[in-house]
Structure formats: C-alpha cells, structure tokens
Amino acid sequence: MILSFDLLINAIISGVLIGGFYAAVTCGVSISFGILDIVNIAHPAFVILGSYIAYIINAQFGFDPILVSIVVVPAFYALGAGIYQIYYVAFERRGQESLRGLAFFFGLLFITEVSLVLYFGVDYRYVQAPYIGPTWHFGFIDVPMRILVPCVVSLLLIAFLQLVLTRTFIGRAIMAVAQDQLALRLMAVDPIRIKRIAFGISIATASLAGAFLIIIQPVEPSVGRDYIGRIFAICVLGGMGSLPGAVIAAMLIGVVESITSTFYGPSWAPAVSFGFLLLTLAVRPAGLLGR
C-alpha cells in the first residue's frame, strides 16, 4: 500500500460526495426509524424501485432522472401512507411491532426485490443524462459530475426536509409525535394521521434517492441489500432523528469507505459501515448528535 497524497485527497473528496448521496438514502429512515420508531428495513428496496422507475422513463422518453423522480414523488408518498396504514392496523395497534412488524417489512423487502427481478431481470440498468459522463479536474483532484450532481441535490433535499420539520406545523407535529402522542391529541391533532404523513414523506424521499443512485452507479435489484446496513448505521450514528447528524455521519462513513476501498480494495468496504454500526451500538447508541 503506497500512501499517495493524490489518491488520499481524491478518496476523501469522493467519499464526502458519496456521503451526501448516502444522506439522501438515509433521511427517509431518519424519519421512519429515528422519529417514528418504525424499523422499515425495506427502505432500500423502495429506493431501488425509484431507480427502476427513473430508468424506465429515462430509457423511453429521455427525461432527466431527477426530474422524473420528483414527478413520481406523490405516488411514492401514497405508497408510504398506504403501507403505514396497514402497519398501524396490523401491528402498532395490537402492540406487536417488535417481531411481526419487523417481519412485515422484511417480507416487503423481498417482495419488492424479487418482483423487480422477475420483471426486469438481473442485468444492470443505467440512465443517460448530460452530467453523467464528464469529470471536473482541479489539478490532481477529480470530481465526477455524476457524483457531484446527486450530492448537491441530496443536500438541497435534506435542507428542505429540515426546514419542513422545524418550521411547519406538520413538521413539528411529526417531531412531537415521537415524544408525546397524548399532548398532540389534546391539541386536536390525530397522531395516527401525522405518522401516516411522516411515513409517506419517508417513502417519498426514496423516489429521489433512487434517481440519485442510478445516476451514480448501474443498478440491479439486489444492490439494495448493501444499503440496509449503511442507512441504519448512518441513522444511528447521526443520532436517530437528526437530519444534520445524518449528513455528518453519512459523509464520515462515505470517507472511511472510500479510503478503505482505495487502499485496501473494495472487498473490505461493506464491513466498514456495518463495523461502524456495531461500534456505535456498543459504545454510544445515542449517536454523534444524540437525541
């Protein structure tokens, strides 16, 4: 292993950029798991679904994948709201979310993934967009546009979400529903409706994250599995419900993964995020910016 300065800087930069994208994938789980305490382990599958939808429209009509994903957001929102309603009636209300709720989402993960395999096959799919090819060069620093653009849009998305959560009534109700459902009821706000909205938003972010994913790399259905550990690691490390925390944690993990991959080879990369997760759980379950 030769410690090349150029390689190191590039690894760090691409790690930070990828981290921005990871944050977009995670922000949905920050809401569903961090705030609502719903272990939606199927979230990556919905992200992949978003990728495939972006792929279909992009391949057919040539529209920009990010724009496509934005247009599709209402559908994803409806999907999320619908799933939460089932989850609530079947599990939360009966107090069975620990085992059976978990199994429910696990089942959804497989249903989604295998349906995609049956429909699209296991070939890698990719999208076309003007910013996917070029790379900016600053001296020895290389910034691929196909990573930069999703990163920038991701951060915009998260900034937008943070504004919604902190400045709007619905957003603050979402933050409150985790802490005190009774207080919400006393304010004539239905906590179940709030949770439904929140979960809808959570799945809606998957649409965008999916577009980002397929811009950054070619996608096939099982790619989602790599992300399960990543997003929960980032969510926990970032302090559960904290979006800024998720961004920092995501970039941290992105950088460490990138450095590991560059200097030790990509086969060690998966262990990085999962190792981080274990460490965080063992040492400080409250995360970096704990709740």
Partner 1 sequence: MRTLPFFLISLVVGAAVFGAAVGIGNEYAFFAGYVVLQYIVLSTAWNILGGYCGYVNFGTAAFFAMGAYSTVAIYKFIADHDLYRMPMPVLVLIGGAVSAVVGFGMGYLTLRLRGAFFAIATLALAVVLQTLVVNWDYVGGSRGAYIIRPETFPLIGSYIRYLFLIMLLLAIAALTIARLIERSRLGFGFATIRDDELAAEASGVPTLRLKLIATTISGALMGMAGAPYPYYIGYLQPDSTFGLDYAVNSIAMPLIGGTTSWLGPLIGAVLLGSLQQLATVTISSAVNLLIVGCLLVAFVIIAPNGIIGLVHKYIQRKDDDFIGRRHVGLDAPAAPPEPAPSATADNPP
Contact status: 270 vs partner 1 (CB under 8 A): yes
Residues 67-86 close enough to bind partner 1 by CB under 8 A: 86
Residue 144 phi, psi (nearest 5): -65, 130
* Interaction mask 222-261, partner 1, x per CB under 8 A: ---x--xx--xx--x-------------------------
CA distance 130 to 140: 23
Contact status: 108 vs partner 1 (CB under 8 A): yes
79 contact partners, CB below 8 Å, separation of at least 6: 46, 200, 203
Contact status: 290 vs partner 1 (CB under 8 A): no
Residue 130 phi, psi (nearest 5): -60, -25
Considering the complex, what minimum distance in angstroms separates the CB of residue 182 from partner 1? 16
| Cβ atoms 280, 256 nearer than 8 A | no
Stretch that binds partner 1, among 11-19, 66-74, 89-97, 154-162 (CB under 8 A): 89-97
- Give the 3-state secondary structure percentages of the chain, helix then strand then coil, rounded to 5: 75, 5, 20
Considering the complex, what minimum distance in angstroms separates the CB of residue 160 from partner 1? 28
User: For partner 1, how many residues bind (rule: CB under 8 A)?
Assistant: 44
Considering the complex, what minimum distance in angstroms separates the CB of residue 214 from partner 1? 21
Considering the complex, what minimum distance in angstroms separates the CB of residue 104 from partner 1? 5
H or E element in which residue 137 lies: strand 135-138
List the one residue from 111, 152, 159, 183 that touches partner 1 (CB under 8 A).
111
Burial class (CB in 10 A: 0-12, 13-18, 19+), 40: buried
- The Cα angle at residue 276 between residues 107 and 145, in degrees rounded to 5: 85
Residue position matching structure tokens 């070619």? 218
List the one residue from 136, 268, 286, 290 that touches partner 1 (CB under 8 A).
268
List the one residue from 102, 132, 145, 175 that touches partner 1 (CB under 8 A).
102
- How far is residue 90 CA from its own chain's centroid? 25
Stretch that binds partner 1, among 54-62, 177-185, 198-206, 274-282 (CB under 8 A): 274-282
CA distance 288 to 237: 6
Enumerate binding residues for partner 1 (CB under 8 A).
33, 37, 39, 41, 86, 90, 94-100, 102-104, 106-111, 113-115, 117-118, 225, 228-229, 232-233, 236, 267-268, 270-271, 274-275, 277-278, 281-282, 285
